C-alpha cells in the first residue's frame, strides 16, 4: 500500500525525526497542540509539553513531546498506550510543527489541512510557502501588487504575474495583498488546485485580519496627522509615531480613479474606493517597515512616511494602488513643515494624470505657474491664445508632435499641401509659427487646456 495514503503515526514521526521514544504508539497523529489548547476529543493530537495537573483527560491523545524526563507521565503513557518522546533542548515548538505539517500534507491532504488551519496564523509567508511546496512539489511565489516578491519556495522563475489568472506552466490566485503563484506542469497544477485555492483563501483571511489591526493603529496616526495639518496640534505630537525632526520624510496625496455620478450609489462607491486606496497604501507602507502615517481628506488619502528613495518608493506605492489612481508627492523634508509639504503634494497631484506619480521637484516652471491659477483663469487663457476650431486645433497638435510636415499630414490622413493651407490659416489667427513668442503662447495655452481637462 502507498505510504502516502496512510495517516502519520506517532511512532513513524518519532522515527523520521530521530527522536528518543520512551513510549511507542501506533496511534495516528494529525497535528500538534500545547496542553492549554488540547481540549475536547484528543484523537490524533500530539501534545507539546507537560500537561498541568492530572494527565487522565489526555488518555485519548496520540502522544506527548517533552524536553525533560517525567517519570510519572511516562508511567501514565505506558499504562494507557499513549506515545511519549523526548526532544533535544534546542528544538523549538514551531520547528516541530512545521516538520509534522510537511509529513501530513505529503501523506493525506485532509489531515494536513486540519493542521494547516492551526499552524497558518503563526507562520510568516516564507515558512508557509515552504510547507505548501513540500505538500505539492510546485514552486511558489507570493507577489505584491507593486511587483515585489514577498516570499518564495522552490525555484520559481524571475518574472511573475501580478494578477490572478492561469497561463502556460503557472496558476496565479488572488491571495489578499497580492497573488499566490504556483509553477509546474499543467496536470500537477490541476491536481493541486483545490489545496492552492484553499491556501489562497486562508492568506486572504489572514491579510484581512492584519489589515483591520493595521487600520486601527493607523487611525490614531491619522487623527494626529489631520490635527497637525489643521494647526490644531503641535507638530511634535508626531514623534509618538516615529516621525522625528531629524528624519527625512515625504508627504503624498493619493486619489482613486474617478467615479461618475452624483447619486447616492456613486457617493457610496467613492467612499469604498477611498477606503480601498487607504488599505492598499497601508499594506505597501507597512511592508517597508518604516514609520508612516495615513489620513483621509475627502476622497483623497494623505500619506507621510520616512523616506529612503522617494522616487522609487512613490512609484512602487502607485503600483500598489488600484489601476487609474494618481499620486502627487512633496519634496523631501526634515523637521515638521507639514503644511508646506501638503501644498507641494497638492500642486503635484493636480499635474498627475491617471496612473501617474508626479513629484513637486519634477514639475516644470510652466506647469508650476499654471497650477497656481484658478480653473476660470485657465479657461480664459486657453480661449485667448487658442482661438481655433476643433479641426485646426487637431491640425496644430499633429504638426507640433510630428518630426516633419509630411509625417504630420500622414497622421491626419491629408495631403501635405492641405496641411500647408491649414497652417497658413492658423498663422493668420496666431502669428508666425516659427516665431518664439508665438510658440511660447501656444505651449502655455495647450498646457492650460490639458490641466482643465484633468
CATH topology for 375-453? Arc Repressor Mutant, subunit A (1.10.10)
Confidence of residue 328 (pLDDT cuts 50, 70, 90): very high
Tell me which of 3.30.70.270, 3.10.20.90, 1.10.1740.10, 3.40.225.10 is the CATH number of domain 234-363: 3.30.70.270
> Bridge partners of 303?
252, 294
pLDDT value for 4:
47
Q: Could you give the CA distance from residue 185 to residue 257 in angstroms, rounded to a whole number?
A: 38
Q: Which residue has the cell 489548547?
A: 37
Q: Could you give the CA distance from residue 445 to residue 435 in angstroms, rounded to a whole number?
A: 16
Q: Could you give the CA distance from residue 229 to residue 254 in angstroms, rounded to a whole number?
A: 16
Q: Of 352, 282, 269, 353, nearest to 320 (Cα)?
A: 282
Residue ranges of the domains in the chain? 3-94, 123-207, 234-363, 375-453
Burial class (CB in 10 A: 0-12, 13-18, 19+), 372: exposed
Q: Could you give the CA distance from residue 228 to residue 297 in angstroms, rounded to a whole number?
A: 13
Q: Is the pLDDT of residue 241 over 70?
A: yes
Q: Would you state the cell numbers that stand for residue 343, as one nine-digit string?
A: 501644498
Q: Of 166, 204, 210, nearest to 185 (Cα)?
A: 166
How do residues 47-80 score in pLDDT, each as one tens digit? 888 888 888 888 888 899 999 999 999 999 999 9
pLDDT value for 383:
77
Give the number of other Cβ atoms within 10 Å of residue 322's Cβ.
12
pLDDT value for 202:
84
Give the number of other Cβ atoms within 10 Å of residue 373's Cβ.
14
Q: Is the pLDDT of residue 6 over 70?
A: no
Q: Is the pLDDT of residue 108 over 70?
A: no
Q: Rounded to whole angstroms, what are the CA distances from 315 to 146, 267, 284, 305? A: 9, 28, 11, 14
Q: Of 223, 317, 316, 324, nearest to 273 (Cα)?
A: 324
Q: Of 232, 372, 253, 363, nearest to 303 (Cα)?
A: 253
pLDDT value for 394:
87
At 46 the three-state DSSP class reads strand
Strands 165-167 and 170-174: antiparallel
Q: Could you give the CA distance from residue 395 to residue 134 in angstroms, rounded to a whole number?
A: 63
Q: What is the mean pLDDT of residues 91-105?
A: 74
CATH topology for 3-94? 3.40.1390
Backbone CA torsion sign across 114, 120, 125, 131: negative
How do residues 134-193 score in pLDDT, each as one tens digit? 777 789 999 988 788 888 988 999 889 888 898 899 999 998 878 999 999 888 888 888
Answer yes or no: same fold for 3-94 and 375-453. no
How do residues 248-275 score in pLDDT, each as one tens digit? 999 999 999 988 877 888 888 888 999 8
Q: Would you state the cell numbers that stand for residue 18, as one nine-digit string?
A: 530521530
φ/ψ of 138, rounded to 5, equals -100, 140
How do residues 377-430 score in pLDDT, each as one tens digit? 778 877 787 888 888 888 888 888 888 989 989 989 999 999 999 989 988 888
Ordered alpha helix ranges (H), 21-180: 71-80, 93-107, 109-119, 125-136
Amino acid at each position: 500500500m502507498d505510504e502516502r495514503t496512510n495517516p502519520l503515526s506517532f511512532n513513524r514521526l518519532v522515527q523520521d525525526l530521530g527522536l528518543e521514544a520512551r513510549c511507542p504508539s501506533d496511534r495516528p497523529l494529525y497535528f500538534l497542540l500545547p496542553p492549554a489548547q488540547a481540549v475536547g476529543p484528543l484523537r490524533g493530537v500530539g501534545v507539546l509539553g507537560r500537561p498541568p495537573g492530572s494527565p487522565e483527560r489526555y488518555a485519548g491523545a496520540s502522544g506527548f513531546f517533552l524536553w525533560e524526563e517525567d517519570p510519572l507521565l511516562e508511567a501514565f503513557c505506558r499504562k494507557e498506550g499513549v506515545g511519549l518522546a523526548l526532544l533535544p533542548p534546542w528544538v523549538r515548538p514551531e520547528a516541530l510543527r512545521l516538520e509534522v505539517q510537511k509529513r501530513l500534507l505529503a501523506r493525506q491532504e485532509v489531515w494536513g489541512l486540519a493542521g494547516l488551519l492551526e499552524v497558518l496564523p503563526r507562520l510568516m509567508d516564507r515558512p508557509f510557502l515552504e510547507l505548501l511546496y513540500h505538500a505539492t512539489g510546485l514552486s511558489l511565489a507570493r507577489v505584491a501588487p507593486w511587483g515585489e516578491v514577498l516570499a518564495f519556495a522552490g525555484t520559481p522563475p524571475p518574472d511573475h504575474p501580478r494578477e490572478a489568472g492561469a497561463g502556460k506552466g503557472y496558476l496565479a490566485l488572488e491571495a489578499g495583498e497580492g497573488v499566490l503563484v504556483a509553477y509546474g506542469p499543467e496536470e500537477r497544477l490541476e491536481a493541486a488546485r483545490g489545496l492552492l485555492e484553499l491556501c489562497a483563501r486562508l492568506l486572504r483571511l489572514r491579510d484581512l485580519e492584519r489589515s483591520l489591526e493595521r487600520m486601527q493603529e493607523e487611525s490614531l496616526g491619522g487623527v494626529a496627522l489631520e490635527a497637525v495639518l489643521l494647526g490644531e496640534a503641535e507638530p511634535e505630537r508626531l514623534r509618538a509615531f516615529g516621525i522625528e525632526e531629524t528624519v527625512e520624510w515625504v508627504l503624498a496625496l493619493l486619489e482613486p480613479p474617478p467615479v461618475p455620478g452624483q447619486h447616492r450609489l456613486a457617493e457610496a462607491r467613492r467612499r469604498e474606493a477611498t477606503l480601498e486606496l487607504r488599505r492598499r497604501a497601508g499594506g505597501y507602507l507597512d511592508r517597508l517597515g518604516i514609520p508612516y502615517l495615513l489620513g483621509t481628506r475627502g476622497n483623497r488619502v494623505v500619506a507621510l512616511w520616512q523616506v529612503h528613495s522617494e522616487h522609487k518608493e512613490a512609484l512602487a506605492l502607485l503600483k500598489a494602488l488600484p489601476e487609474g489612481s494618481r499620486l502627487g508627492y512633496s519634496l523631501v523634508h526634515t523637521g515638521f513643515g507639514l503644511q508646506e509639504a501638503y501644498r507641494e503634494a497638492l500642486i503635484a497631484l493636480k499635474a498627475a494624470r491617471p496612473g501617474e506619480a508626479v513629484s513637486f521637484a519634477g514639475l516644470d516652471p510652466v506647469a508650476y505657474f499654471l497650477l497656481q491659477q484658478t480653473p476660470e483663469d485657465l479657461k480664459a487663457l486657453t480661449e485667448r491664445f487658442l482661438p481655433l476650431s476643433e479641426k485646426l486645433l487637431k491640425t496644430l497638435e499633429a504638426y507640433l508632435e510630428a518630426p516633419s510636415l509630411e509625417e504630420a499630414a500622414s497622421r491626419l490622413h491629408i495631403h501635405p499641401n492641405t496641411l500647408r493651407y491649414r497652417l497658413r490659416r492658423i498663422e493668420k489667427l496666431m502669428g508666425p509659427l516659427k516665431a518664439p513668442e508665438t510658440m511660447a503662447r501656444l505651449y502655455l495655452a495647450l498646457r492650460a487646456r490639458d490641466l482643465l481637462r484633468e
